[in-house]
Amino acid sequence: MFAALLFATAVAKKVPDFLPNAAASKTVTVVARGQAQKSIVILTEAVAIKETGPKETVKAFGEVYAFSPTTISVHRDEPTLITFWNLQGDDEHDVMLMDDHNNVLMKVTLPPLKKTAYIFTFHREGVFTFTCTLHLPEMSGQVLVFPPSR
Ligand SMILES: [Cu+2]
């Protein structure tokens, strides 16, 4: 009963997935299918976990995960396929993308042992931040959006 209640609370708290709405799509367009000019893979790396340790690190920090790489660069208006590989068999991750004013643009779940891919086209140059809401603050990274290449 108690466990079920805890579970229900966790589920209720979980932010549902969403892609950029009409306003956010002026900053970044995100689609599941289409033509991309570039492809980037981002892994979910287990830095310190209860199964493999180091034990003292897990004791001090809890389980620690990281996106790898943490910084990627794209060009403005260049459709870029970004594929997240969740390498963990028993841990869900997610990715929440924010603009340079910390406005949340989208959030999608990264299920265990699955590749999650979208084509991102950024329409504004600048520094965007992405983070896993389940492993804050360490599991986060940046997208640097540069001027068009030609
Ligand atoms: Cu995570």
Kindly report the CATH number assigned to the domain that includes residue 51. Answer: 2.60.40.420
Can you tell me the distance from the alpha carbon of 87 to that of 43, in angstroms, rounded to the nearest whole number?
7
Residue 137 CA, ligand 1 centroid: distance in Å: 10
- Asked whether residue 3 is assigned to any structural domain, the reply reads no
Centre of ligand 1 to C-alpha 63, Å, is 10
Residues in the chain, pLDDT under 50: 1-2, 5-6, 8-9
CA–centroid distance, 93 to ligand 1, in Å, is 4
At residue 105, what are phi and psi to the nearest 5 degrees? Answer: -100, -35
**Are 128 and 97 spatial neighbours (Cβ–Cβ below 8 Å)?**
yes
DSSP-derived letter for residue 103 is -
Which residue has tokens 């306003």? 23
- Tell me, in angstroms, the distance from the centre of ligand 1 to residue 23's CA: 27
Q: Which two tokens stand for residue 121?
A: 């086209």
Asked if residue 86 belongs to a domain, the reply is yes
Q: With respect to residue 56, please indicate whether it lies within any of the assigned structural domains.
A: yes
What are the tokens at 56? 């003292």
46 belongs to a structural domain: yes
Q: How many domains does the chain have?
A: 1
Which residues have C-beta under 5 Å from ligand 1, the single-atom ion?
A: 65, 93, 132, 134-135, 139
Domain annotation covers residue 10: no
Structural domain including 118 reads 17-146
In a domain, 83, yes or no: yes
Burial letters 10-42, b for 16+ CB under 10 A, else e: eeeeeeeeebbeeebbebbbbeeeeebebebeb
Please report whether residue 125 resides in a domain.
yes
How far, in whole angstroms, is CA 101 from its chain's centroid? 17
Distance 108 CA to ligand 1 centre (A): 12
Q: What pLDDT sits at residue 150?
A: 72
Residue 9 resides in a domain: no
pLDDT for the residue 13: 62
For position 1, what pLDDT does the model report? 42
